[in-house]
Amino acid sequence: MIEKLQKKYALSEQGAKDLVKGCLACVLQNISFMIPVSILYTLVTCMLMGKVPADHAVFFMMACIACVLFIMLATFIQYNATYFATYVESGVRRVTLAERLRKLPLSFFGKKDLADLTSTIMADCTFLEQSFSHFIPELAGSIISTSLIAVCLIIIDWRMAIASLWVLPVSFAIVWLSKSVQEKLNNKSMEVKMACADGIQECIETLKDLKSNNAEERYLEGLKEKIRAVEKRSIINEFGLAVFVVSASLILKLGIATAVLAGAALLKTCKLDIYTFFMFILVVSRLYDPLQGALQNLAAVISTHTNIDRMNEILDARVQEGDTRLTNDGCDIVFDHVGFAYNSGETILKDVSFTAKQGEVTALVGPSGGGKTTVSRLAARFWDINRGRITIGGMDVSKTDPEALMSLYSIVFQDVTLFDNTIMENIRIGNKEASDEEVIRAAKLANVDEFAEKLPEKWDTEIGENGCELSGGERQRISIARAFLKNAPVILLDEATASLDVENETLIQTAISRLIKDKTVLVIAHRMRTIAGADKIVVLSGGTVAEEGTPETLMDKNGIYAHMVKLQSEGARWSIGDGKRD
C-alpha cells in the first residue's frame, strides 16, 4: 500500500507512511465528534423515560469533561499527523525533484522550459502540500468513520439506515463522475498558466531588447491577453467544479428528509420506537456536515492529479547512470561512428569518427549547425548518443556515472553563467576546496586580476545576478579561471575567447598553452585565427567529419577549412562606410 501511495501521490516512503497516519488521525477525530451525540442521546433518553438524572449529574458532567478532553487530544494528534508531517514532506518533495533534475540528461530539458520546471517545484508542491494537510486525510477520515457509523446504524435498524444513508453513494458518485471533466479543465488551465508564466519570464529577461526596439507596449498587450486567459479559465474551472459539488450537496441534504419521513412512517405503524428515531435524527444531523466537506475534498483530490502527473514526469524520467569508478587509461577522446538526434527527431550527427589525443589541441570547426557544440557536449555525456561509441582513455562514456565523468573535464561555455556572489567565490566553484591563494593564482592565469584589483572590494566584490556588474569579457575570464582552478585532464572550450578583445584573447591563448601539457584540449571556434596553432583540426559539416588534419595539411587540400580561412581573411579587409575593401 505504501508503494502505491508513493506512486499515486508522488510521495517519499516516509511521506506515504505519514499520509496513512494522518488519515487514521482524522478517523479518530471524526469519531470523537460523535461522542457528544451519544452523551446527549443517553441524557434525553433518561429524561423521556422519567428518570430524573439528579443522581447522575456528576456522571454526565464527568462524561462531558472527558469528551472535551478526548476531542482536544484527537484534534492535537490530527494536527500533528497532517499539518506538521505535510510541511516536512513538502520540503522533501522539492529537494527530491531538484536532485532528480540534477541527474537527468539535457535531453529532458529540451522538452521543458524554466517556467514550467519552476512551477512544478514551487506551485505544484504547494498545491500538494494543501492536499495532504486538508483534502486527502479529511476525505479518508470521513469515509472510514462514516463507514463505521453506517455499520452501527444498520445493526440498530437497517430500514432507517437505508433511509438515512442512501444519499451518500449517490452524492459521491456524482463528484467522482466529474473526474474526466475536471482533468480536461485542469489541463487547459495549466496550459494557459504556463503560457502566462513564460510570457512574464520572457518579458523580464528581454526587457532591454523590448525597450531598445520600442516594443514594450505591443508585448505587454499580448501579456495582458495571457493574464485574461488565466482569469477566464479559472472562472470556467470553478463553475465546472461547482456544478458537480453543489448538485451532490443538494442530494446529500435529502438524507435528513428521507430519514424523517421513513421514521414517521415506521412510528405510525409502531415498527420503530421514539428513542431509536431520536437517535437516528441526532446521528444523521451530525453526519452530513463533515460529509459535505468531504465532497469538496474529493473534488480537490481529483484536481491534484494534474499536478501529481507533472511531478511524476520528472520522477519517472530516466536518469543517466553508470559506474562511479573511473577506469580510463589516459585521456584520449575517441568518437567511433557516433550518431545522434535530439528528441525532436532532428539528426545532428550521422557518422562521426575522430580522435582527440592527450597532450594535443583538437579544434572543431565548420559551418553553423554542423554539430561542433553537440560533439563537445556528447564527450562530457550531457546527452546519450543514439549509436556508435565514445570513449575517454578506453572507458566507455555511456557506461560511466556523469558526475564521476565530469571530474575529468574543465568546461568553458560560450554562454557564461555566474552567481550573485563575490569574484572569489564564483571562481572557487571550479574547486570548492581551493584556498584563496590557489583561486587568485588561477584568476591571474585568466587575467581576472587586471579588473578585479581595480574594484573597490577587489576579490570580495559582489558581481550581481549572473555577473550583471561586469562586462562580457570580464565574465568570460571568470569562467576561464574556473576551468584553470579545476585543473582537470580534459579541457573543453566552446568559443571561450569570443567575448574578449584582441589583446586579452592573445593573453588567454598564452595561458591556455601553459595548461595543455599532458592534457586533452577540445576547442570549438568560429574564428580561424584562434586555432591556427592547433595540433589537429576536425571539420564538421552536415553531421559528419568532412576534413581532418593539421592546419597546414587542410590548407593544402583547399577544401572547406581553406575556404573558411579565405572568407574570414577577406571579411577582415572590409570596412564600414563605403562597403569597399581597404
Task: Compute mean pLDDT per 10 residues along the chain, 582 residues long, and list them.
Answer: 68 75 80 75 67 63 83 83 75 81 74 72 75 76 79 84 86 82 81 82 77 79 86 84 82 84 86 79 74 76 77 79 84 88 74 87 82 84 86 89 86 78 85 85 83 83 76 78 85 71 66 72 77 82 84 83 75 53 46
pLDDT at 98: 80
C-alpha cell at 382: 550531457
Specify the 3-state DSSP secondary structure of 400: strand
387-392 and 544-549 strand pairing: unpaired
> Which residues face 411 on adjacent strands?
492
Q: Is 569 exposed, middle or buried (0-12, 13-18, 19+ CB in 10 A)?
A: exposed
Q: Could you count the other beta carbons within 10 Å of the beta carbon of residue 220?
A: 13
Contacts 24+ apart (CB under 8 A), 453-461: 455/423, 457/422, 459/422, 459/423, 459/424, 460/422, 460/423, 460/424, 461/422, 461/423
Any idea where the domains of the chain sit in the sequence?
2-315, 324-375+387-408+527-573
User: pLDDT by residue (tens digit) across 91-103?
Assistant: 788 888 888 887 7
pLDDT at 515: 66
> Which residues face 549 on adjacent strands?
537
**298 residue type, one letter:** L
Q: Could you count the other beta carbons within 10 Å of the beta carbon of residue 313?
A: 15
Taking the C-alpha atoms of residue 483 and residue 142, their distance in angstroms, rounded to an integer, is 60
Element (H, E) at 389: strand 387-392
Q: Which CATH architecture best describes the domain 324-375+387-408+527-573?
A: 3-Layer(aba) Sandwich (3.40)
Instruction: Check: CB of residue 306 under 8 Å from CB of residue 183.
Output: yes
Instruction: Check: CB of residue 41 under 8 Å from CB of residue 34.
Output: no
Taking the C-alpha atoms of residue 532 and residue 443, their distance in angstroms, rounded to an integer, is 25
> Which residues face 355 on adjacent strands?
334
C-alpha cell at 217: 507596449
User: Within 13 Å of residue 106, how many CA atoms lie on the same side as its CB?
Assistant: 12
pLDDT at 582: 46
User: Within 13 Å of residue 179, how many CA atoms lie on the same side as its CB?
Assistant: 8
Phi, psi of 291, deg, nearest 5: -70, -30
What is the secondary structure of 483-499 as a DSSP string? HHHH--SEEEEESTTTT
pLDDT at 418: 81
* Reported CATH class of domain 2-315: mainly alpha
pLDDT at 85: 73
Nearest residue to 482 via CA among 515, 504, 531, 520: 515
Torsion, CA 334, CA 336, CA 342, CA 348, rounded to 10: 100
pLDDT at 581: 47
Taking the C-alpha atoms of residue 284 and residue 281, their distance in angstroms, rounded to an integer, is 5
Kindly report the length of the chain: 582
What is the secondary structure of 273-336 as a DSSP string? -HHHHHHHHHHHHHHHHHHHHHHHHHHHHHHHHHHHHHHHHHHTSPPP--BSS---SS--EEEE
Nearest residue to 434 via CA among 496, 491, 483: 483
Q: Could you count the other beta carbons within 10 Å of the beta carbon of residue 380?
A: 20
